[in-house]
Structure 1
């Protein structure tokens, strides 16, 4: 009996999240059809959420890492099918880099682009990273690209200062990165993700996009991260 009750509770929870996600998407569709002054979000969607009410419809910002978050790259032919290859100058040689796209990356970017300003902030060199981004973002979803020369070096590590992207408006931005030290200057804005190497059954991006779409209704998106990490 206890196990049946647990299954029923889990089913109800999943049903609520599906309804809630649909409700968020519906709100964003309505917001495109009316002016900001006509918007009035419901006073409650769920007791755990702090929501936007009577706020202008402005895009929030999602900052994405590149390597091991969106793709995996290697100088050796990988053990799984790679998606494309780029040629990068290393010292005096031109080297091939084999790139495996994380499953779902195209849909992930397109869905984010519907509601968010999408930025890629990578510690990779521009010569390499720009070629990879050209390949995975052929629809031009990514509005801004920052490379290694935009990182700060802290204790020998490359750290990404999010204020370079959004200034002081950190409540409106989140960064997705497999390496928490990369966002150590603003850890409350960081959304951790499992590092991707060669698991072609990986579904982390599809799980993540559902969470990020819900984050949109928070007044301070950092509150959503606190809820995520608390569960």
Structure 2
């Protein structure tokens, strides 16, 4: 068992102990018990905090190319490039649909891509059939740093960077907030790739951390 998984299980056990030993009483008004008001769990404010997972698109969720790829592609989109309509062939990373659906159960999910909106919006419409992704940011929202596109996470979550992480294959993309970056191997055409499903397990552990950046430290350390 990895140190990260052990840490997650330990924190969950501690949380359960606190929940078991905490006694909640119905509120009373003028000597009468109000049964319509549910008792407040002291852990609710923390555990129900709305947290955000921000996802890169290209080489993280999909691989796109103007040439027919060497493996079977999943779909094609038509994009205007230099006054010409070009076909873009898209290969979905294995597990992307399950990954999005499972993330959506516990998190707000956003996509922040350096891709152009005309292209990226079509791809996202194709892969997000269940409308899990609630916010989309494109190249025009990126910040240029040393000639590279960086993604300012405060555009998504404001100042509360404890409650957000970004998954991106390019570390330059989260150079403005490196502690919030979750690295992932770039995807091209490996149809046996399991990186997204591994990340689901990681994110299911993150609810044990008050500051999600501490979870990243444990992930990188292992």
What is residue 207 of structure 2 aligned with on the other side? 216
Say whether residues 1:137 and 2:155 are aligned partners.
Answer: no
1:107 is aligned to 2:102:
no
TM-score (norm 2): 0.83
Q: Which has the larger radius of gyration?
A: 2
Residues 14-52 of structure 1, C-alpha deviations (whole Å, 9 max, x = no match)? 9x66x939x69xx8xx9xxx9793153xxxxxxxxxxxx
CA RMSD of aligned residues (A): 2.5
Task: Report matched runs for 1:25-40 at 5 Å.
Answer: 37-40=40-43
Alignment length (residue pairs): 199
Q: Check whether the contact 2:47–2:207 (CA below 8 A) recurs between aligned residues.
A: no
CA distance in 2, matches of 1:56, 1:120: 23
Distance 1:150 1:61, change over 3 A: same
Uncovered stretches (5+) of structure 2, i.e. residues with no partner: 20-36
Normalising by structure 1, we get a TM-score of: 0.80
Counterpart among 63, 67, 89 of residue 72 in structure 1: 63
Cα separation, 2, equivalents of 1:78 and 1:56:
43
Q: Distance in 1 between the 2:201 and 2:110 partners?
A: 18
Q: 1:149 to 1:36 in 2, by over 3 A?
A: farther
Residue equivalent to 1:47 = none
1:73 and 1:147, CA in 2 relative to 1: closer, same or farther beyond 3 A? same
Q: Which runs of 5+ in 1 are unaligned?
A: 1-9, 41-52
Q: Is 1:186 the counterpart of 2:150 in the alignment?
A: no
Say whether 1:20 aligns with 2:9.
Answer: yes
